[in-house]
Amino acid sequence: MADLRNTFAGIKSPNPFWLASAPPTDKAYNVERAFKAGWGGVVWKTLGEEGPPVVNVNGPRYGAIWGADRRLLGLNNIELITDRPLQVNLQEMKQVKMNWPDRALIASIMVPCEENAWKSILPLVEETGADGIELNFGCPHGMSERGMGSAVGQVPEYIEMVVRWCKQYTRMPVITKLTPNITDIRKPARAAKAGGTDAVSLINTINSIVSVDLDSFAPTPTVGGKGSHGGYCGPAVKPIALNMVAEIARDPETYGLPISGIGGITTWRDAAEFLALGAGNVQVCTAAMTYGFKIVQEMITGLSDWMDEKGHRSLDDIIARAVPNTTDWQYLNLNYVAKAHIDQDACIKCGRCHIACEDTSHQAITALVDGVRHFEVLEEECVGCNLCVNVCPVENCITMVGLEPGTLDQRTGKPVDPNYANWTTHPNNPMARQAAE
Amino acid sequence: MGTSISGIMGGRLSPADYEKNFTDLHPPLDRHQALVASDRCYFCYDAPCMTACPTAIDIPMFIRQISTGNAVGAAKTIFDQNILGGMCARVCPTETLCEQACVRNTAGDRPVEIGLLQRHATDTAMERDIQFYQRPERTHRRIAVVGAGPAGLACAHRLAMNGHDVIIFDARVKPGGLNEYGIATYKTTDDFAQREVDYLLAIGGIEIRNGQKLGRDFTLGELAENFDAVFLGIGLAGVNALRVEGEQLSGVEDAVDFIAALRQVEDKGDIAVGRRVVVIGGGMTAIDAAVQAKLLGAEEVTICYRRGKEDMNASEFEQELATSKGVMIRHWLQPRRVIGKDGRVAGIEVEYTEMQDGKLSGTGETGILAADQIFKAIGQTFDPASVPNLRLDGGRIAVDAEGRTSMARVWAGGDCVKAGEDLTVTSVAQGRDAAESINQALAAAANSAVAVA
């Protein structure tokens, strides 16, 4: 059986599945249940300053989008950091850590951007025996209006400054949690690294309005007739998160910086993809909030079974394996030619490939051949765009087949060039022309 | 109860059992079920289901409308092609039409539940009494429609949509034709046929005169003289006879009468049914009679069909429905003689059959099935007596592609014409298309009059 033991920024856990800082990790009761279910670690819901805790709305905090059978695809929330007194949280964290010494327990922290605020809370957290801290620079709602959360995460200089304070005032590993509500995720990651962070975690939630109630004409969730933007998460955000993780993983300036991958992880497969793109472990929230803590058992067995099947013995065998294959568009091989191929035995003749290609692409798929309903690729028109593959309802019915070098590309009338050539040297590229001149 | 008492009698079951047995065969989808079912539609290009529908309903479109929460819009998409879409959703043999064509079958999956989705949409609009069509300015053209069945109603509605005045003559007490009298009770509960007629008539401009029979109360010649056009949707009035000894015995009944009586009766316990019932035939009527005899408490119901399973007109689904209700279907048996005792049916002698040189013939081997009630369901026939001047084709009214008969200004459609498939949905298509043809003919006549003037 594959070894799922994980060491992330020096923090050990029996598996790479942590619960993200969120409602599921707000109390000892929940966290105890999570550990019983098998979670490798938790990031305790974000602690605020000592004093009167924040308050939440007393109406709906969540909104969602669903598939047809009410499968939850995306979740949005306007809940703030913990609304329980700091001391209560700290006492519970300490007790839970004592009860579960083999599990990772991380404290998420969000206090004002003042040195003293951080300096005073860190020893309190350290005293609980927590394995590390996560700096919440991500929440896009509520706290950001008070100069915290994503308001910090959007300013690299602030990130660097706060991380530096934390490294100065605690011996605990520091994980900097990044907001995706920014144009270039590498900038805050570089800043965190410059401040001395031990790791980054991402993504926090995305600014969002999930829907508008068309009777009341108010965004949902609606609180007393009004709605506010919230933080979006769940399966729908996974592609955005994957890209941001990869951006940091392959950035030479942050190369090797541990990344805790977060964003829509619902199954072992999602987790494996994050690990492959450079995440050292993963954090989960929405899937647990949708199905309960038991899902971690599917994640553990699924990841382990897949690793066994593929001969991967430990997480190190898969972490960052897809990073070298992630590149910029300009380095893609323009001499690679693929054509769609429709397996006629698998084709159910729905015609979606045809209409997608006919209406919106390259008119490269027939609808009728000799008066009979028949869907077939016209290689002389096919640019290999893959749209038909994506709209086909039958898995593996349409596949992209790469042409062997030397074979004729019927669209261009030229043989496929065996040599790698990309945009940087392409004659149509004005930059390449300048360089040549 | 009295299930096992011999002879033909009512009240074999408790009222609760009657109620249970005659509820909706396919309970309607609720909103969530409809959303899930609609999500299974692939929105095919040039969708095969649409091609398979005799009325060419834009099925992918109405299903997509349901999936986006617009069941009312979906109903309009359906009614635009088929104003009796509510009944068709209940009685269409979808398993041999749209749902058979569904590409999900090819994927080795079950088809999208098109019939149930269509019902969801049409029920939604009808329950809210949303009317989609308004009569334009009256043309003052008057059209006679004979027969208030699916063909006649579809024709009348489309004519009214074009501003014409329509008078429907129908021989029966209630309109609806086979929708009212000819369909198994569990397929159309809660007086749906009448509700549908009322819904359709709301467009205005259509008057129904019940108890008016062609050939008895008026002639085709009179209609042709007094109206701008005539549409005949008179169905099949005759029932084929067994032509065997003992057919006149008490207890030998027409399946269509049995089915009609069941539809009209208030208390199902009033319908007498035998302990042992034999149904002769292999079509939908045979299935409907056999299943309902069983549901009324008959102990033993046997369908005898003179050919093989694959030759039966009843769909595979209908056959399975019958067997699931406990009906025994026997093939390759033909009736030889009805056996009587004290002037009443006691059994039926049947002979095995086989195909010889492409012809069906008896093998000479016979046997006797005990029975106290026998239903004849071996097909209905067109009775040409009421239309003596029309050219016939295959024993039914001959029409061209637009539904025109051999007589000027007379159109026909539904089961009474040759091209009919004896399906509700085909009748609707023919009635609707004849109305369009009539409308064009009237418009052309009006234009030429203007041109001459």
Shared-domain flag, residues A15 and A114: yes
The beta strands (E) that lie in A29-152 are given as 41-47, 62-66, 72-77, 104-109, 132-136
- DSSP annotation of A331 reads G
Within a domain: A1: no
Instruction: Indicate the residue among A282, A297, A317 that finishes a domain.
Output: A317
Give the per-residue pLDDT at A149: 83
Shared-domain flag, residues A203 and A273: yes
Q: What are phi and psi of A18, to 5 degrees?
A: -110, 150
> Chain B residues with CB inside 8 Å of A352's CB?
42-45
Give the per-residue pLDDT at A431: 87
Pick the CATH number of B15-20+240-379 from 3.40.50.2300, 3.50.50.60, 1.10.1660.10, 3.30.390.10: 3.50.50.60
A355 close to B (CB below 8 A): yes
Give the per-residue pLDDT at A138: 83
Burial category of B240 from C-beta neighbours within 10 Å (exposed 0-12, middle 13-18, buried 19 and up): middle
Instruction: Indicate the residue among A282, A317, A352 that finishes a domain.
Output: A317
Q: Which residue of B has its CA nearest to A392?
A: B42
Give the per-residue pLDDT at B41: 96
Shared-domain flag, residues A110 and A212: yes
Cis peptide before A398 (omega within 30 of 0): no
Compute the nearest-CA separation of A385 from chain B (Å): 20
Shared-domain flag, residues A376 and A413: yes
Within a domain: A324: no
Superfamily, domain B142-237+382-452: FAD/NAD(P)-binding domain (3.50.50.60)
B158 pLDDT more than 90: yes
Can you tell me the mean pLDDT for A108-125? Answer: 96
Domain regions of chain B by residue span? 15-20+240-379, 40-127, 142-237+382-452
Do domains B15-20+240-379 and B142-237+382-452 share one topology? The answer is yes
Can you tell me the mean pLDDT for B93-113? Answer: 94
Give the per-residue pLDDT at B39: 95
Shared-domain flag, residues A61 and A177: yes
Give the per-residue pLDDT at B174: 96
CA atoms within 13 A on the CB side of A356: 19
Please give the torsion angle defined by the CA atoms of residues B296, B301, B306 and B311, in that order, rounded to the nearest 10 degrees.
Answer: 60
A252 close to B (CB below 8 A): no
**Percent over 70 (pLDDT), chain B:** 98
Banded model confidence at residue B7, pLDDT cuts 50, 70, 90: confident
Shared-domain flag, residues A10 and A103: yes
Largest CA distance in chain A: 80
Q: Which among A354, A373, A394 has the least Cβ separation from residue B107?
A: A394
A352 close to B (CB below 8 A): yes
DSSP, collapsed to helix, strand or coil, labels residue B402 as coil
Compute the nearest-CA separation of A62 from chain B (Å): 21
B453 pLDDT more than 60: no
Within a domain: A400: yes
Give the per-residue pLDDT at B419: 63
**Number of structural domains, chain A?**
2
Question: What DSSP element (H or E) covers A368?
Answer: strand A368-369
Give the per-residue pLDDT at B449: 63
DSSP, collapsed to helix, strand or coil, labels residue B244 as coil
Can you tell me the mean pLDDT for B73-91? Answer: 97
Give the per-residue pLDDT at B2: 53
Give the per-residue pLDDT at B418: 78
Number of helices followed by number of strands (H, E) in chain A: 13, 24
Q: Which among A69, A349, A367 has the least Cβ separation from residue B103?
A: A349
Shared-domain flag, residues A342 and A312: no
**Residue A338's domain is classified under what CATH number?**
3.30.70.20
Give the per-residue pLDDT at B451: 58
Shared-domain flag, residues A352 and A257: no
Give the per-residue pLDDT at A143: 80
Banded model confidence at residue B448, pLDDT cuts 50, 70, 90: confident
Annotated catalytic residue: which of A139, A233, A353, A397?
A139
What's the pTM value of the predicted model, to 2 decimals?
A: 0.89
**Residue A37's domain is classified under what CATH number?**
3.20.20.70
One-letter amino acid for residue A62 of the chain: Y
Tell me whether strands A11-13 and A6-8 are parallel, antiparallel or unpaired: antiparallel
For residue A292, the enclosing domain spans 6-317
Shared-domain flag, residues A91 and A126: yes
Banded model confidence at residue B328, pLDDT cuts 50, 70, 90: very high
Q: Which fold has domain B40-127?
A: Fumarate Reductase Iron-sulfur Protein; Chain B, domain 2 (1.10.1060)
A144 pLDDT more than 90: no
Contact across the interface for B42 and A352, Cβ inside 8 Å: yes
Average pLDDT, chain A: 96
DSSP characters over B419-443: T--S-HHHHHHHHHHHHHHHHHHHH
Q: Which among A67, A367, A393 has the least Cβ separation from residue B42?
A: A393
B31 close to A (CB below 8 A): no
How does pLDDT run across A182-238, given as a tens digit for each residue?
Answer: 999 999 999 999 999 999 999 999 999 999 999 999 999 999 999 999 999 999 999
Can you tell me the mean pLDDT for B181-197? Answer: 93
B213 pLDDT more than 80: yes
Q: Residue B29 has which token pair?
A: 């989808």
A139 tagged catalytic? yes
